Structure 1
Amino acid sequence: MKAHIENSITIKASIESVWIVLSDFNKYPDWSPTIKQFFSIPSAGQRSKVRLEQSKGQYDYESSVSKHYSFEGTSLEG
């Protein structure tokens, strides 16, 4: 089953600060209560395995990245 998830929030921080956090995939477990591990760094057109942990348990899933974003020397594909 193919699913699309979208959400938005307002963050009171500079774009630069937010971008640094979002583009550091190895640090997601430090601030995300759900994302525990990326098995590879996500890149456009490639599938990436991610380990999630929620109240009902832990599971791995594969996601794909469809777009590439960049900001002042850092990049995020998502």
Structure 2
Amino acid sequence: MDVRTKEEYYEGHLKGAILIPYDQIEKNIDGLEQYKNKLILVYCRTGRRSNIAVDTLKNSGFTEVYHMYDGISNWKYDVEK
């Protein structure tokens, strides 16, 4: 799950990532119900926004949420444009 802005997402994202900006997760939580017990990797550019998103997901009962601590800015493999 890419929690950056739409513009950042289109500059490059991990293959298969879905875009939900971190400040939109709470209001879209019902649409994410199908992922509640599935592995979710959450990332942003540096880790700050994704940390907020991870907390939101965990507080909403999502069980397998993983955080890319240093963000996509340090990721160099399989970025899709």
The two structures share one fold, judged by TM-score above 0.5:
no
Q: Which has the higher contact order (CA 8 A, sep 6+)?
A: 2
Structure (1/2) with the larger helix percentage: 2
Higher strand share: 1
Normalised to the residue count of structure 1, the TM-score between the two structures is: 0.29
